[in-house]
A and B are shown apart, each in its own frame.
Chain A
Amino acid sequence: MTLKLAIKNIYAKPWRAVATVFVVAVAVALVFSMLSFSDAVFDYLFAVETASAGDSDLTLATNSVSDRILSVDGLEEVDGVKDVVPTLNMYALYQGGYVSLRGFDKGDYETLSDIEVVEGSVSDLDLNTDNVVISQDMAEEYGLKVGDGIAVKSGTKTINFYVVAIAKATGYFLGESPYLVIGNVKGVSRLIYGEYAVYNEVYLMAEDGANLDTIINTILSMPKYKDMTIGESQDAQYVTNQTNSMSAPVVIAGVGVLVLALAFVVLISLTSLGERKKFVSKLTVVGATKSQIAQIFLYESLILAFVGAVVGSILAGGVFALLLKVTLSSVVAFRISTIKLFGSAVIGFVTAVASVLIPIAISMRNTISANENERRKSVVWKALPIALVLTAVASVIVEFTAKGGRGSLSLVNVVLVLVALVVSVPFVLRALAKLLEKAPKATIKLTAKSLSRERRHTRLQILTAGMTVAMLLFMAWGLTTDIFTGYLVEFEDKVLVTNVPSSIASSPNIEGILDVEGVESAVPMVWRQGKMTEIGKGKTVNIIGSEKALDLIDFAFVTNETELRQSLLIPGNIVIDKAYQELYGLNVGDKVALEIEGKTATLTIAGITRHKLFNGNYVIASIGTFEDAYGIGADTVLVVADDAKLMAEKIRSQFVERNYYAQDALTVYQWDAESLGNVFDLVGTLAIVMAVLVFMVLVASAVASRPNGEKGRTAMLSAGMAKNTLLLAEVYEYAITAITAFVLSFAVSVLMTASLIGALRLFGLYFEFMYGADIVAIVGAVLSVGYALIPLITGFKKKYTLLRQK
């Protein structure tokens, strides 16, 4: 019986039901996407990062790019080593662009990773040393097919290879940059020496349970390998850090949208609170018990939440795929975790039921009489907004003053401040309306009286919450895009030249690079990734190995510049970013353990710098420090030139015999840049969707609640008010509401921005306070004007008629 009435209730308000189902579905899909996003990004990045090494456990490499390994004697005999896969990796030119050539021993091609072919056969590689496999992307780019020949050039040598298979972008070919060509090691070696097999990297697969450190030590104790570098092939921590950086904005934006979606469920229910109260009253007067009434509403919310959860579960896979496609701009294979999907549906379902029940509980709280003659609120109810505001203020004070206050508390405060804002904004509007009651103009006076007497301001609350979140999302989009643009500007004039001999550091003209026409400056350096093993679960950092980096990149000096420059030259010293000071409490004089390619050294912090773009992502050391601590010499030359692409080509052609690998920095970091750009665009898309959604909900709510004020409007018209004046009064009402929402949202957005930035620390990210007042003002103004114009847009005037008594 109660179920039947619940279904009747749902049918009675189809748009309310559709809106609730839609919001719950979006919430479920978002929860699932948020729960799965990090894992999917991790899997993808891990696959990209380990594309070369495949399933191997350890990678052994020569210490200098020019060194070669002629044989891998003794490695298979090392205890714990199961398999040894030597390869030759080198860059070469094909049709003016770089390709990466990779030579394997016969039969070893698929030992590290499977090659999925779309055309041809991998086994054909064994038929001839000139045979190669290329990727589908490369085949499409150059119009190649199986059987075609490709002339590849290195230095002065050109070798013709023949395509015997075309592979999918998986395994070795995943995220290839530049295009990868896999062939026989003897074939590839011909570009260097002739038809002898030479190698420069050896991949080792360990037996199950073998101790990798023991294997590393054993190999490094062998005279033949003692000067080589050996390390683990898979750096999960690095991938974790990368994943966090990429996931943070998406997760935070998603949580924001999720919280708002759930707030919408509450607010959608609140828009019909008056009608529900009447319904409760009518049921009570005919003898319905409280439990029967509760059952009706419970069934109603259960049905809507269930349908929403089911629809959300169906949409979840698509939304998630879209999210990955947009953020990673690549075909990403992912699995839908049934547990996560079920968990998301349950979270969405339970929260939606709870959200729907809150207003219902309010409507059931009073006696029938109170429902009929809306009674004044209780003292407790009145005190709630004050208590919430005070709690929010206290919590924010603790966040910004207490040591370690930023992080989890920041995230709590983002939600707390938003809730306090939404709960308290009606009081501010009423106070403003009270002031406006003294206005001389009758229309404003009447409007103000109406606003100050109105008990509920649900639409104002929707507008305020939606406006605040939209402001934050648009600002996040604007600021991150700014940073991203700065990142591109910082790199647009830089060329990275690798495959250079370590002697280049001591060459006065950098082996001739400095003399190339158009080169503004050239700095030999070590450009590696390392791990601060004792910091933040092994924080991965980019290591800029040159004291001259301070002149090339626009760093701000937190510690005294002169002292910092002098200290940096002392071997064993490094300079860190301010983020490490903020996140991990590191200071000048502290010692940190830094691991590079399996070798760990303890270094001293000599100074602290700050950089808006590379926030917390770099450590600067001198070349001397590198040589002393790790035995690594300069391996990269950073060249600055007006036109980086042109300069890269110029260096390639002028140093063709030395086979330098020169690429403009934006091409080198193209994937990272595209991914970051896509994440920021996603935040922008969420911002636009949010703003449109908020506006649509407001228009729908305004139209749906028109009958409520019909008596008042009739009274006004009966009293002789002109229709145009009534319309103007309604526009005033909407405008005053919009101004209140705008002013409060603007003020609170500053606080929420600070807390949001603090919350990023949970992801190991540190940013200085940033705020885009112009973006916030524009977003607020557009939404406010749009809201104020709703009476005009939706044709309120057409419905101005005196009520006809039936």
Chain B
Amino acid sequence: MKDKNVLIAQGITKTFDTGAPTEVLKGIDLEVNKGEFVAIVGESGSGKSTLLYILAGIDTPTEGSVVLADKDLATIGDAEMASLRRHDVAFVYQYDNLVPHLTAYENVTLPLLLDGLKEADYKDRVIALMTELGIGDRLKNYPNELSGGEQQRVAIARALAINPKLIFLDEPTGSLDRERGRQVMEILKDVNEKRGVALVMVTHSSAHAEYASRRIEIEDGRIK
């Protein structure tokens, strides 16, 4: 892997067997540089979310390879994949990111807790982070007590809590109204620019794709 890359995907294909084989992705090659903000756009059913899941190691490709933060996903085991998620990459879904019976603070610190860190080592940093994201007063609230925008900010805070190299985002504003969506996009832009965290975001919104430094359009399983 070149030093500048945080993600390299080569020859990614994905075929689903739903009665008859359906090839959703047809040989995708993609590189993402450190600190880059990439937006993946495309029509519904174009395969953009499938690609994102494969790039993030949540799904596996039928063919092709993904090297993420210097790790070839095809060769690493569960434990190494888990370590990668605790240290290098994070994922933010469109909604329903949070564990319902943990508070906002507990959700944010979950990966740190799983990493065996002592609370004293991260508590102040996490509270500062949450305050920076405008949810400092919601530490003890449970997800069902938060608005959709607040929930997404908690999910982003959780992603940032591990100081990742790369965050994958699947329609992060999809469940929010325009204003809240804009606020989240501003936060993401900040994260990318100030913290230098690479972002790979799937979105159907052209306006939100404008926040990215690079735009990739998927059409019929291929990069257009």
Q: Do the two chains bind?
A: yes
> What 1/0 flags go to A367-399 for Cβ under 8 Å of B?
111001000000000000000000000000000
> What 1/0 flags go to B57-89 for Cβ under 8 Å of A?
011100000000000000000110011111100
Q: Which of A1-60 contact B (CB under 8 A)?
A: 1, 4-5, 8-9, 11-12
Q: Which residues of B contact A8 (CB under 8 A)?
A: 101-102, 106
Task: Sort A-B residue pairs by CB-CB distance and give the 5 closest, nearest first.
Answer: A287-B86, A12-B101, A287-B85, A369-B59, A289-B82
Q: Which of A784-806 contact B (CB under 8 A)?
A: 805-806
Q: Check if A368 sits within 8 Å of B110, measured CB to CB.
A: no
Q: Check if A286 sits within 8 Å of B60, measured CB to CB.
A: no
Q: Check if B114 sits within 8 Å of A292, measured CB to CB.
A: yes
B30 touches A (CB below 8 Å): no
Q: Using known A-B contacts A290-B78, A369-B53, A369-B58, determine if residue A285 contacts B114 with beta carbons closer than 8 Å.
A: no
The stretch among A224-232, A275-283, A318-326 that forms the contact with chain B is A275-283
A284 touches B (CB below 8 Å): yes
Q: Which residues of A contact B85 (CB under 8 A)?
A: 284-287
The stretch among B3-11, B21-29, B92-100 that forms the contact with chain A is B92-100
A288 touches B (CB below 8 Å): yes
Q: Check if A289 sits within 8 Å of B79, measured CB to CB.
A: yes
Q: Which residues of A contact B98 (CB under 8 A)?
A: 282
A477 to B98, CA, bound (A): 51
Q: Check if A286 sits within 8 Å of B87, measured CB to CB.
A: no
A806 to B82, CA, bound (A): 32
> What 1/0 flags go to A333-365 for Cβ under 8 Å of B?
000000000000000000000000000000000
Q: Which residues of B contact A11 (CB under 8 A)?
A: 101
Q: Check if B78 sits within 8 Å of A286, measured CB to CB.
A: no
A284 to B93, CA, bound (A): 13
Q: Which residues of A contact B83 (CB under 8 A)?
A: 287, 289
Most chain-B Cβ atoms within 10 A of its Cβ — which of A278, A367, A369? A369
Most chain-A Cβ atoms within 10 A of its Cβ — which of B60, B99, B116? B99
B165 touches A (CB below 8 Å): no
Q: Check if B101 sits within 8 Å of A1, measured CB to CB.
A: no
Q: Which residues of B contact A4 (CB under 8 A)?
A: 113
* Inter-chain pairs besides A287-B86, A289-B78, 14 sampled, C-beta below 8 Å: A4-B113, A8-B102, A9-B101, A12-B100, A285-B91, A286-B158, A287-B84, A289-B83, A289-B114, A290-B82, A372-B58, A805-B175, A805-B177, A806-B148
B115 touches A (CB below 8 Å): yes
Selected from B82, B97, B113, the residue in CB contact (under 8 A) with A282 is B97
Q: Check if A284 sits within 8 Å of B59, measured CB to CB.
A: no
17 CB-based A-B contacts, threshold 8 Å: A1-B114, A1-B116, A278-B96, A283-B99, A283-B110, A285-B85, A286-B85, A286-B90, A287-B82, A287-B86, A287-B115, A289-B83, A289-B114, A290-B79, A367-B59, A805-B175, A806-B148
Q: Check if A1 sits within 8 Å of B113, measured CB to CB.
A: yes
Q: Which residues of B contact A284 (CB under 8 A)?
A: 82, 85
- Closest chain B residue to A4, Cβ basis: B113
B141 touches A (CB below 8 Å): no
Q: Which residues of B contact A283 (CB under 8 A)?
A: 99, 110, 114
Give the Cβ gap from A275 to chain B, nearest Cβ, in Å: 8
A4 to B109, CA, bound (A): 13
Give the Cβ gap from B184 to chain A, nearest Cβ, in Å: 14
Q: Which residues of B contact A805 (CB under 8 A)?
A: 148, 175, 177
Q: Which residues of B contact A292 (CB under 8 A)?
A: 82, 114
A561 to B97, CA, bound (A): 81
- A contacts, CB < 8 Å to B: 1, 4-5, 8-9, 11-12, 278-279, 282-290, 292, 367-369, 372, 805-806
Q: Which of B158-203 contact A (CB under 8 A)?
A: 158, 162, 175, 177
Most chain-B Cβ atoms within 10 A of its Cβ — which of A285, A288, A805? A285
B221 touches A (CB below 8 Å): no
Give the Cβ gap from B174 to chain A, nearest Cβ, in Å: 12
At the interface, is chain A mostly helix, strand, loop or mixed? helix
Give the Cβ gap from B124 to chain A, nearest Cβ, in Å: 19
A1 to B114, CA, bound (A): 7
Q: Using known A-B contacts A1-B116, A289-B82, A806-B148, determine if residue A367 contacts B102 with beta carbons closer than 8 Å.
A: no
> What 1/0 flags go to B31-69 for Cβ under 8 Å of A?
000000000000000000000010000111000000000
A285 to B84, CA, bound (A): 10
Give the Cβ gap from A619 to chain B, nearest Cβ, in Å: 68
- Closest chain B residue to A368, Cβ basis: B58
B147 touches A (CB below 8 Å): yes
Selected from B99, B106, B111, B113, the residue in CB contact (under 8 A) with A279 is B99
Give the Cβ gap from B12 to chain A, nearest Cβ, in Å: 15
Give the Cβ gap from B198 to chain A, nearest Cβ, in Å: 17
Give the Cβ gap from B159 to chain A, nearest Cβ, in Å: 9
A284 to B83, CA, bound (A): 10
A289 to B90, CA, bound (A): 15
A5 to B102, CA, bound (A): 9
- Closest chain A residue to B90, Cβ basis: A286
Q: Which residues of B contact A290 (CB under 8 A)?
A: 78-79, 82
A200 to B86, CA, bound (A): 91
Most chain-A Cβ atoms within 10 A of its Cβ — which of B58, B98, B106, B148? B58
Selected from A287, A368, A369, A806, the residue in CB contact (under 8 A) with B114 is A287
Q: Check if B111 sits within 8 Å of A287, measured CB to CB.
A: yes
Q: Which residues of A contact B102 (CB under 8 A)?
A: 8
Selected from A1, A282, A372, A806, the residue in CB contact (under 8 A) with B99 is A282
> What 1/0 flags go to B116-147 for Cβ under 8 Å of A?
10000000000000000000000000000001
A1 to B86, CA, bound (A): 15
Q: Check if B114 sits within 8 Å of A288, measured CB to CB.
A: yes
Give the Cβ gap from A402 to chain B, nearest Cβ, in Å: 44
A8 to B99, CA, bound (A): 11
- Closest chain A residue to B101, Cβ basis: A12
Q: Which residues of A contact B84 (CB under 8 A)?
A: 287
Q: Which residues of B contact A279 (CB under 8 A)?
A: 99
A754 to B96, CA, bound (A): 51
- Closest chain A residue to B113, Cβ basis: A1
- Closest chain B residue to A369, Cβ basis: B59
- Closest chain A residue to B95, Cβ basis: A806
Q: Which residues of B contact A367 (CB under 8 A)?
A: 58-60
A624 to B53, CA, bound (A): 93
- Closest chain A residue to B79, Cβ basis: A289
